[in-house]
Structure 1
Amino acid sequence: MKIVLTTFLLFISTFIFSQEKFNNEKEIKNTQNYNIQEISKKVNETITIFGTLLTPKSNYNNILVILSGTGKTSQKAHNYLTNYLLKNNIGVFKFDKRGVGKSTGEYNDQPKIYTSDFIGIYSELRKLEPIKNKKIGFLGHSLGGIVTTMAIEQNVKPDFLIQWSAPIGKPRELLGYQIKNGIKNYNKSIIGKNKEEQIKSLNYIHHLIDKNPNKTALELWKIAKKESKKVNINKKSFSNYLTPIKVEFARINNTKTYQNIDFPTLVIIGEEDILVDPKQSKVELNEIGNSNIIFKEIKNLNHFMTKKGTSQLTNEIYNVDISFKKYLVNWIASLKS
């Protein structure tokens, strides 16, 4: 589907694009070989979320629920991976975000909204009798990984979890990492003459948010307007950052969720990811020290698990590398029944 740059741009960064054609969609091949069932959930009076369950016709044990990252990403975006999973006897469930594909309403993938919609459509999936005895795992890509942790916090737990290029700990840390990597999508939110000034302002605001956990964005702005002069930070540098949505995001911390995970979990990321820091992810997980979590870094791959030079303007962005696909399938196969 067409991806639109929004004020809540956090993950796709320079790869965000706007096109008239829906170039990131790809149809599933050989659908006659699979069982296909459409599922829908009316989450309120005007919004219905649609999803599709695809399962092998032969006997299978596992289903993977795919949660996409930021952007107007339809359930057809990850069909390269879907085809591979199905060929390897793993069922797949995907759904359209609100306002995308068949799902109605106005597009909105803020974490709370996305999580609420996911929990709704997932509750319908779990009602299906044919999958009662199947193991169901979540695969969250980027923002989708944050959504999985927020769902788990609401006691919506999978049998196993795969976090693909998803931030660990405080997801807000990716802003500074992206600024350091020369990504300029935050230049209007955090203003500075150079990267160092931007990161200094960002760190100041994040410290202020942490120090005042119950303050609103407006209340934080009033404090920062007075106090920022003392640390030689121009109030204009962060005025566009102190909005309710951004402050809400800055307060997300999934550390305790990872500490409490009691099911098999794989955190997998590309060594060349410039949107989410692989080193920071590893450090956070080492500090968490949960034996149920495995960390895997794949060399030469980026945020989308493709190699440098892959076209970002077509569905090729979702044509994930074979090493990534094989690792997922082998890891799922290794889980105890």
Structure 2
Amino acid sequence: MKKVSIILFLFISNFIFSQGEFNNEKEIKNIQNYNIEEISKKVNETITIFGTLFTPKSDYNKILVIVSGTGKISQKAHNYLTEYMLENNIGVFKFDKRGVGKSTGEYNDQPKIYTSDFIEIYREFEKSKFTKNKKIGFLGHSLGGIVTTLSIEQKIKPDFLIQWSAPIGKPRELLKYQIENGIKNYDNLIIGKNTEERINALNYVYQLIDKNPNKTAWELWKIGKKESKKINVNKKSFSNYLMPHNVEFARIDNTKTYQNIDFPTLVIIGKEDILVDPIQSKKELNKIANSNIEFKEIGKLNHFMTKKGTNQLTNEIYNVDASFKEYLVNWIIELKK
């Protein structure tokens, strides 16, 4: 459980995203107006992933698969956005992470495990009669955006992709950005007297990981405790970081995936996002230079595409701003049928 809690810190601060401590669910209005199909997939003897597909009863040609960000987020969290999609004749599929909602097993959304669960439930979703001859798109929020790119690397290819507040390139860079923005959850992972010392320690440990791509976390620690003395970095500053799941995360790089995307893709982020850097995202996409990818930044909105002052201890954090959901719907509708 300690390892699971640490990985959560890589994405979000407790005061913003304590998913297990408040009600983040909302029921869909006028649910009788839509087709509803429950979909489940048994991953192993103890774990079953549950999802729900909502589709308009009128004719439709696109379905959006929502992959949530970090935390104990059930499929009911994004129901404001789901309602808006359905009202605009776009189907929606969502699922509960393992150990959340109806899904069984112990909660764990480390990228590798979360991606594996997503691929399993997605393959079951594809069998539905409601998906036949429809365009299927992925919407990945934050960690969900990493999961979608990892899935694409495993040949799970959508017809279109929306990356919402998702890190581009090496997701590990968001840790520096959050430290610089005063996020406190990393105080025990990267230790230092001030921000500069902590960033220096983080830069060193990233270099260590990159120079030794096949070394385990323990092997990296043994190298680091000797080498760090030479460059005046205290080994205690990064010792807590060198856990297997953190090293695995630090090695993720989705640059090639974005370079190879050959379907319509929208990368959208709020200008006031303090968890994923919109400036860094744009720079990475400019370097990637893929004409299939559109970048959109929306002013005055945060990581959740809500405005400052939104009650973050209720489901209102998922009541996304009209400018965001309208942009999404228009972008999806304008895609070639």
Question: What TM-score results when the alignment is normalised by the length of structure 1?
Answer: 0.97
Contact 2:74 2:95 in 1 (8 A): yes
Structure 1 equivalent of residue 232 of structure 2: 232
Contact 2:41 2:48 in 1 (8 A): yes
CA distance in 2, matches of 1:196, 1:66: 37
CA distance in 2, matches of 1:129, 1:267: 30
Q: Match of 1:283, as an amino acid?
A: K
Structure 2 equivalent of residue 86 of structure 1: 86
Structure 2 equivalent of residue 180 of structure 1: 180
Structure 2 equivalent of residue 270 of structure 1: 270
Structure 1 equivalent of residue 7 of structure 2: 8
Structure 1 equivalent of residue 215 of structure 2: 215
1:281-301 CA distance string (max 9 Å, x none): 000000000000000000000
CA distance in 1, matches of 2:77, 2:7: 20
Contact 2:19 2:72 in 1 (8 A): no
2:119 is the alignment partner of 1:119: yes
The structural deviation recorded for 1:45 is 1.1
SS in 1 for 2:220: helix
1:73-128 CA distance string (max 9 Å, x none): 00000000000000000000000000000000000000010000000000011011
Structure 1 equivalent of residue 331 of structure 2: 331
CA distance in 2, matches of 1:19, 1:143: 17
The structural deviation recorded for 1:131 is 1.6
CA distance in 2, matches of 1:127, 1:220: 44
SS in 1 for 2:269: strand
SS in 1 for 2:167: coil
2:158 is the alignment partner of 1:148: no
CA distance in 1, matches of 2:204, 2:311: 37
Contact 2:11 2:175 in 1 (8 A): no
The structural deviation recorded for 1:12 is 2.2
Sort the Cα spacing of 1:81 and 1:292 in 2 relative to 1 into closer, same or farther, 3 A: same
SS in 1 for 2:7: coil
Structure 1 equivalent of residue 319 of structure 2: 319
1:35-63 CA distance string (max 9 Å, x none): 00000000111100000000001001100
Contact 2:191 2:198 in 1 (8 A): yes
CA distance in 2, matches of 1:87, 1:259: 34
The structural deviation recorded for 1:201 is 0.1
The structural deviation recorded for 1:130 is 2.9
The structural deviation recorded for 1:19 is 6.0
SS in 1 for 2:5: coil
Contact 2:85 2:92 in 1 (8 A): yes
Structure 2 equivalent of residue 139 of structure 1: 139
CA distance in 2, matches of 1:70, 1:268: 18
Q: Match of 1:58, as an amino acid?
A: S
Contact 2:171 2:250 in 1 (8 A): yes
The runs of at least 4 aligned residues of structure 1 exceeding 3 Å deviation read: none
The structural deviation recorded for 1:167 is 0.1
* Percent of matched pairs sharing the same residue: 80
Q: How many residues matched?
A: 333
The structural deviation recorded for 1:303 is 0.3
SS in 2 for 1:236: helix
SS in 1 for 2:6: coil
Q: Match of 2:113, as an amino acid?
A: I
**What is the CA RMSD across the aligned residues, in angstroms?**
1.2
The structural deviation recorded for 1:18 is 6.3
CA distance in 1, matches of 2:85, 2:130: 19
The structural deviation recorded for 1:17 is 2.5
Structure 1 equivalent of residue 286 of structure 2: 286
Q: Match of 2:7, as an amino acid?
A: F
SS in 1 for 2:63: strand
Please show how residues 155-174 of structure 1 align to structure 2 within 5 Å. 155-174=155-174
Please show how residues 33-48 of structure 1 align to structure 2 within 5 Å. 33-48=33-48
CA distance in 2, matches of 1:69, 1:169: 17
Structure 2 equivalent of residue 129 of structure 1: 129
Sort the Cα spacing of 1:19 and 1:169 in 2 relative to 1 into closer, same or farther, 3 A: closer
Give unmatched runs, 5+ long, in structure 1: none
1:291-316 CA distance string (max 9 Å, x none): 00000000000000000111110000
Give unmatched runs, 5+ long, in structure 2: none
SS in 2 for 1:313: coil
Q: Match of 1:119, as an amino acid?
A: I
CA distance in 2, matches of 1:119, 1:215: 28
